[in-house]
Chains A and B, each alone.
Chain A
Amino acid sequence: MRRQVPLILCFLFGIVMMLVEFSPHPISEGLRAEVIKWDLIIGPFALVIGVITLVHTHVIRVKRRVEHWQYSYLVFFGMIVMVAFGLPTGPKNEVFEWLFDNVQVPMEATMFSLLAFFIASASYRAFRARTLEATLLLVAALIVMIGNAPIGDVLWNELSPVGDNIPSTARQWILDNPNLSSRRGIILGVSLGVISQSIRIIFGIERSYLGGGD
């Protein structure tokens, strides 16, 4: 019974929501809006559970004195401060906004900026021309990089007697033809995979997400 009820609900909602997609009738639109509301209502309840588990995780870390347990106090400190300023007056509170703009945003930007270094290290590994595929990748990447940089076209037009703006034209050809066609191949496969997976879930054939078994 514990697994039958979710399966029945999944079947009903799956079929109804699929049909709703093909119907512009006000009842259908209303039903879609209603289900979205339910989803929005479930979210905050789940967030409470999320916050409880977060606190629990860090309390355990402090109790067990695991490595770097002291940082867990920072989590509590940050949480209490943000809740203390944000909860009574909402997100427009000056202190709350200041903390968000000057602490959270710069920290997230710092993490994002690490991406540049990770791209460099990953590219170095990917572009080592050890195999034919890696060599092709290296050549394509060089053309795209030179084509993307304005100096590529400028240098080509100055130094080469053949054609104008060849680097940017070659870059665009690579992006529009081999790149786009392979991406579309992946997208078609993904779309069919999504439909197939959805059918398996709607008809209760795929039950692994319920923990497997019957």
Chain B
Amino acid sequence: MISKKMIPLFVLLVVVFGYSCNLAFAQEAPAEVDTRLFHTGKIWIFVSVILFSYAIIHSIYHARSGGNIFIRRIAGLEAVDEAIGRSTEMGRPILYILGLGTVGDVATIASMNILSQVARKTADYETPLRVPCNDPIVLNVVREMVKAAYLDEGRPDAYSEDDIFFVTESQFAYAAAVDGMMVREKPAAVFLQGTFYAESLILAETGNSVGAIQIAGSDSDSQLPFFITACDYTLIGEELYAASAYLSREPMLLGSLKGQDYGKFILFAGIVLGVTLELVGITWVTTFFQEVK
């Protein structure tokens, strides 16, 4: 949508526009209302977002021009094919649980992206894919998304709208309903991907008890230990967001992961520098990061 040459220009325009408007509006404003166009206290966060965004977009365009991208093996994602294959061989359904997040949660969108890739494979193998939803908006998006995935695979006849359904918005009622489904239908594979709260272990342990191969993934760090304990494979934190790129192997998506790594490298360097300077009594790095809010 935006060419590579335009990116620095776009960034410059945003910064100049923001700064000029900030000055102009601040002079005309009454004293009691904050009419600054830009929150100067967030300048460093803004700069970090711009720099990190630039690194990602640059990596994406680098990947699009044919650059080689290495991505480490992620066991949980390698197992997706195994899980679908197992379900197909056993003639049992796959249960895909998107968690309790809304469509505004990035983890839910990441989960939908994985579901899209899973749906393409289930369309090919004609394996039933059951998706109980706890949010009506997520339900509608997921229905459209899975339908499009089946259409893209040339298998619209295999798509069943009844397999993607709304259960309830209530947390534990949802857990009870999904547990009941697991016990009755005995799915061969269970995917738990998205935002989870206290119901995570209830779902994962029930899945474990019915002998399903379970692939979990969440950005909720407090729920990850439960998934690691009860599931066969767990996508930890950022791996959930990398899943779509990993499964589709699209160069542009893989490129964004490289940009992410640049961000991690900068953070790591900052941490090492901060710790080293702190040890020799120089505290400005620590003070700087404490003041960034």
Chain A residues with CB under 8 Å of chain B are 11, 18-19, 21-26, 28, 39, 42-43, 46-51, 53-54, 56-57, 60, 67-68, 104, 107-108, 111-112, 114-115, 118-119, 121-123, 125-126, 183, 186-190, 192-201, 203-206, 208-213
Which A residues are CB-close (under 8 A) to B135? Answer: 46, 50
Stretch at the interface among B66-74, B75-83, B88-96, B258-266: B258-266
A23-B37, A53-B139, A197-B109 known; A111+B172 contact, CB < 8 A = yes
Which A residues are CB-close (under 8 A) to B144? Answer: 210-211
CA distance A73 to B136 in the complex (A): 22
A67-B184, A111-B202, A208-B112 known; A23+B36 contact, CB < 8 A = yes
Which A residues are CB-close (under 8 A) to B152? Answer: 211-213
B145 touching A211 by the CB < 8 A rule?
yes
> Is B284 in the interface zone, CB < 8 Å from A?
no
A18-B49, A107-B173, A205-B252 known; A51+B205 contact, CB < 8 A = no
Q: A210-B145, A212-B152 are in contact. List 15 more A-B contacts (CB 8 A).
A: A22-B38, A22-B42, A49-B166, A54-B167, A107-B176, A118-B201, A118-B205, A122-B205, A126-B229, A186-B224, A188-B264, A188-B267, A199-B56, A209-B145, A211-B148
**Which of B46, B56, B169, B228 has the most chain A CB atoms inside 10 A of its CB?**
B56
B170 touching A104 by the CB < 8 A rule?
yes
CA distance A208 to B115 in the complex (A): 9
Q: How close is B56's CB to chain A, nearest CB, in angstroms?
A: 5
A22 touching B46 by the CB < 8 A rule?
yes
B25 touching A209 by the CB < 8 A rule?
no
- Chain A residue at smallest Cβ distance from B43: A22
Which A residues are CB-close (under 8 A) to B110? Answer: 193, 197
A196 touching B256 by the CB < 8 A rule?
yes
From 213 to 271 in chain B, residues with beta carbon under 8 angstroms from any chain A beta carbon are 219, 221, 224, 226, 228-230, 236-238, 240-242, 244, 248, 252-253, 256-257, 259-260, 263-264, 267
Could you list some 19 contacts between A and B, CB below 8 A? A22-B42, A22-B45, A23-B36, A24-B34, A25-B36, A68-B184, A112-B198, A183-B221, A186-B221, A188-B264, A193-B219, A193-B237, A193-B241, A196-B263, A199-B256, A200-B56, A209-B112, A211-B116, A211-B145
B141 touching A47 by the CB < 8 A rule?
no
> Is B60 in the interface zone, CB < 8 Å from A?
yes
Which A residues are CB-close (under 8 A) to B248? Answer: 208, 212
> Is B125 in the interface zone, CB < 8 Å from A?
no
Q: How close is A66's CB to chain B, nearest CB, in angstroms?
A: 9
Which B residues are CB-close (under 8 A) to A68? Answer: 184
A118 touching B117 by the CB < 8 A rule?
no
How would you classify the secondary structure of chain B's contact residues: helix, strand, loop or mixed? Answer: helix
A111-B176, A189-B264 known; A60+B145 contact, CB < 8 A = no
B263 touching A192 by the CB < 8 A rule?
yes
> Is B127 in the interface zone, CB < 8 Å from A?
no
Interface pairs A-B: 6 shortest CB-CB: A211-B148, A50-B136, A193-B241, A193-B238, A111-B172, A50-B166
CA distance A67 to B42 in the complex (A): 58
A54 touching B166 by the CB < 8 A rule?
yes
Q: How close is A205's CB to chain B, nearest CB, in angstroms?
A: 5
CA distance A67 to B151 in the complex (A): 31
CA distance A201 to B110 in the complex (A): 10
Q: How close is B216's CB to chain A, nearest CB, in angstroms?
A: 13
- Chain A residue at smallest Cβ distance from B185: A67
A193 touching B242 by the CB < 8 A rule?
yes
- Chain A residue at smallest Cβ distance from B170: A108
Which A residues are CB-close (under 8 A) to B205? Answer: 118, 121-122
Which B residues are CB-close (under 8 A) to A186? Answer: 221, 224, 236-237
- Chain A residue at smallest Cβ distance from B133: A50
CA distance A131 to B173 in the complex (A): 37
> Is B149 in the interface zone, CB < 8 Å from A?
yes
CA distance A193 to B148 in the complex (A): 26
Q: How close is B117's CB to chain A, nearest CB, in angstroms?
A: 7
Which A residues are CB-close (under 8 A) to B140? Answer: 46, 49
From 12 to 58 in chain B, residues with beta carbon under 8 angstroms from any chain A beta carbon are 14, 18, 25, 33-39, 42, 45-46, 49, 52-53, 56-57
B106 touching A197 by the CB < 8 A rule?
yes
A122-B230, A208-B112 known; A193+B2 contact, CB < 8 A = no
A193 touching B260 by the CB < 8 A rule?
yes
Q: How close is A67's CB to chain B, nearest CB, in angstroms?
A: 6
Which B residues are CB-close (under 8 A) to A54? Answer: 165-168
